[in-house]
Structure 1
Amino acid sequence: MKKSYILTFFLIIFLIGLHLNPIVFNDNSNNIKTSSNRPKIVTYMSITEDWTRQLLRNVEADIHVLVQGNEDIHSYDPSSESLLKMDGADLFVKLNIPIETYADQISSQFPNVPIVNLWVNITEDPVWGYQPRKDPVWQHPANPPNMHMWTSPSIARNFIHRLAEGLKSTIGTELMNNTIDANLQVYDLQLNNTITWLSTISKKEEYRELKLIPFHPAFLYYLEDDLNLTRIAVIEEKPGVEISAQHLDYIRSILNNTCTIVWHPQESISKRYVNDLSIETGAKITMLTPIIPIRTPSEWVPKFGSQIDSFLEMVEFNTYQLSNASPYQYNQNDEAIGGYEIFILLILIMGLSSIVFVLKRRRIYERNNSILKNESSIKKRWKTNFD
């Protein structure tokens, strides 16, 4: 009996872990096995992985990603396991921006793997190239162009069209190219619908009244080009670097309870600054994500499921998050399990308890039957001996 309780206990722990850590148990992107008959594509980041999957729907291909959604792309350092994914690859997909710190180094180690660069300047590709611009409110010491172009679906269209051309010219057969073209038409329509939706929703009062101060400059093009919103300032001066006291004083001077601070979970230092500034100034905070996949905050689980998995889902999620900011709560606990997840866990525990109860009752029933059979056998033998 003790063994059954121990087994049940460990089974419950396993299911809780499975429910709370969907990324850990989803090994599609970590699987480095491939078939010689299927093209093998490696992408540097998860956004480009999603775009590749969208264009290769109904195509047998092995698609792998180097930088996962829970990693900071600025500080990513490729492991030997990641580099194994490049071995035997038919194509390496990268955005071709400085944020992909090790992309050029990785490609130089595998010179025989063809590359498709999703971003190029308009001088190189007048149709699908793009000219990034400098960010007027980002106080970076070097004042570089803002290269976080992928967060905007209107700019993402350029990258996706270049990706389609790269896939067709590198790995495509005639049949595969027809499928890629068909998938591109469908995805292009979805992108256009999303862009139209953003334009419509940006006219709502709750968006027009937003006073946004992002921690990181990742959302310039999405916020200003797609939603026509203005950012007052950017908190971070340089990615991953502590903020100077002078700039922090400036940020404090413009923050108040009508402002919304935007942070993203992939950069570890952002939450600490955001929480402190919100407590000091009364500013609201909201979380957007520039990378996928990420776990869904509990309030959005019924709408998006437990994980944000695709680029278009990410855009929709970010847009809803903007209008649902809330002041920082002192007792906020990011590790707490949301009500929806507690409900699921209770169902799991109740189900397992029911199984244990049934097994226990069955064991008692079988034991009683065995006792009755033994008693009957003894009575028969006793009667035979007596007769």
Structure 2
Amino acid sequence: MSVRVGAARLRALVLTLVSFFVIAGTATGCATGDGDRPRIVVTTNILGDITRQIAGDEADVSVLMKPNADPHSFGLSAVQAAELESADLVVYNGLGLEENVLRHVEAARTSGVATFAAGEAADPLTFHTGADGGPGEETARAPDPHFWTDPDRVRTAAGLIADRIVEHVDGVDEKAVRGNAERYDGQLADLTAWMEKSFAAVPEDRRALVTNHHVFGYLADRFGLRVIGAVIPSGTTLASPSSSDLRSLTQAMRKAHVRTVFADSSQPTRLAEVLRQEVGGDVDVVALYSESLTEKGEGAGTYLDMMRANTTAMAEGLSAD
């Protein structure tokens, strides 16, 4: 009797185990299916938003840089670095922006992953970095990575991102991707027209910009503003100003009658505050969302939100008495 009971229990145990493995196998199959979805990895959150607008539901888009981060200084975890090498496509800014990430992008490219440097394809400008030698020597020039402050260049980059997705990401619906790109291009064109109208209201003698570091050169070039200088004469927040840099900028601000400094919201405004002390206490410091998006609902959750918020703040700051 005990033998028959033991056999019955054994059969029940076997059935339970079989059922478990069938269910587990089904779950694993679903997970594998999700893992087979096309995947795009983007370094910065600004490019991440733009890429998501174009990819839509056709691919999973993973963004490495978190909201409110500094693109010049953010780094990757080991898991994020591995993501780059398993992606179908990597979209990054380039031109030296993601200083701690570019070696990982290069490693992914070496391993055979398709990569696209959006900034390098957007007709980059250069900026003066300040004198490297003695008096009379020419200032050095470096590529400006902040192309996204010109929405027309973003239109160019967005179209090229669509091309790369269609070319390198297997399994996407080309018609859907092209449709997303066309819709977003229309939104960018509307943004450009609105920015033109906003800056046109700024008096000619007020169209002078001073920022934390060189970040709005493309915007100034596109909308007819003058860049008087930057607290840090560099395209990166990792640099520091010298006393001669501050003295030169102070003199330029006085000559141009500039009393407003625009500072990046992704970093402290300490350097701009130092300049305020150099020029005088009546200098206004206006915060902008220049290099990073915020969390949703915090002012710059998307690229379009960021540009509209910045344009409003700049136009009002430049026009203020």
Residues 46-85 of structure 1 deviation map (CA, whole Å, 9 limit, x = unaligned) = 11111111012233x3211122232222222322232243
> Alignment partner for residue 151 of structure 2, among 150, 153, 163?
153
How far the C-alpha of 1:198 sits from its partner, in A, is: 1.3
Deviation at 1:279, TM superposition (A): 4.2
From 200, 211, 230, the counterpart of 1:214: 211
Classify 1:85/1:197 alpha carbon distance in 2 versus 1 (closer, same or farther; 3 Å): same
Deviation readout 1:348-368 (Å, 9 max, x if unpaired) = xxxxxxxxxxxxxxxxxxxxx
1:109-164 deviation per Cα after TM superposition (whole angstroms, max 9, x unaligned): 331322223244xxxxxxxx44323325x526432132321221111111111100
Q: Quick one: structure 1 residues 191 and 278, their matched pair in 2 at CA, closer, same or farther if it must change by over 3 Å?
A: same
Matched, 1:139 2:158: no
Q: Does 1:186 align with 2:186?
A: no
CA drift of 1:104 comes to: 4.0
- The corresponding residue for 2:39 is 40
Partner Cα separation in structure 1 for residue 112 and residue 186 of structure 2:
35
- Aligned partner (choices 278, 286, 303) of residue 311 of structure 1: 303
- 1:233 and 2:221 are equivalent in the alignment: no
Corresponding letter in the other structure for 2:177: I
In structure 2, distance between residues paired with 1:305 and 1:133: 32
Distance 1:132 1:140 in 2: 22
Q: Is the 8 A contact 1:292 1:309 kept in 2?
A: no
Structure 2 Cα separation of the partners of residues 97 and 205 of structure 1: 31
In the alignment, which residue of structure 2 is the partner of 1:93? Answer: 91
TM-aligned CA distance change 1:133 to 1:216, over 3 Å: same
Q: Which consecutive residues of structure 2, in runs of 5 or more, have no partner in the other structure?
A: 1-31, 133-139
Q: 1:62 to 1:34 in 2, by over 3 A?
A: farther
List aligned pairs for 1:186-335, cutoff 5 A.
186-205=183-202, 209-225=206-222, 227-238=223-234, 239=236, 240-255=238-253, 258-268=258-268, 271-280=269-278, 281=280, 282-294=282-294, 305-325=297-317
Alpha-carbon contact 1:93-1:118 (below 8 Å) kept: yes
Range with greater deviation from structure 2 (192-201 or 111-120): 111-120
* Corresponding residue for residue 79 of structure 2: 81
TM-fit CA distance, 1:262? 1.0
CA distance in 2 between counterparts of 1:244 and 1:277 reads 12
Q: Which has the higher strand share?
A: 2
Q: Which amino acid aligns with 1:184?
A: A
Contact 1:134 1:143 in 2 (8 A): yes
**Cα RMSD (Å) of the superposition?**
2.6
- Displacement of 1:188 in angstroms is 0.6
2:297 partner amino acid: G
Q: What does residue 64 of structure 2 align with?
A: 66
Q: Given the alignment of the two structures, is residue 177 of structure 1 paired with residue 169 of structure 2, yes or no?
A: no
Distance 1:34 1:105, change over 3 A: farther
CA change 1:317–1:207 in 2 (3 A) is farther
Question: Would you say how many aligned residue pairs link Structure 1 and Structure 2?
Answer: 272
Q: Deviations over 1:276-314 (max 9, x none)?
A: 32244222121122233226xxxxxxxx93341111111
Q: Is the 8 A contact 2:93 2:145 kept in 1?
A: no
- Structure 2 residue matching 1:70: 3-state secondary structure: coil
- The equivalent of 2:19 in structure 1 is none
Relative distance call for 1:208 and 1:243 in structure 2 (3 A) is same
Look up the equivalent residue of 1:201 and give its one-letter code.
S
SS in 2 for 1:67: coil
For the residues of structure 1 that align with 2:104 and 2:160, how far apart are their CA atoms?
21
The amino acid across from 1:292 in the alignment is: S
Greater CA drift, 241-250 or 161-170: 241-250
| Contact 1:286–1:324 (8 Å) recurs in 2 | no
Change (3 A) 1:109 1:254: closer
How far 1:102 sits from its partner (Å)? 4.1
What SS does structure 2 have at the residue aligned with 1:314?
helix
TM-score normalized with structure 2 length: 0.76
Instruction: Report the AA paired with residue 46 of structure 1.
Output: N
Cα displacement (A) at 1:39: 1.0
The residue aligned with 2:112 is 112
Aligned partners of 2:264 and 2:289 also within 8 Å: yes
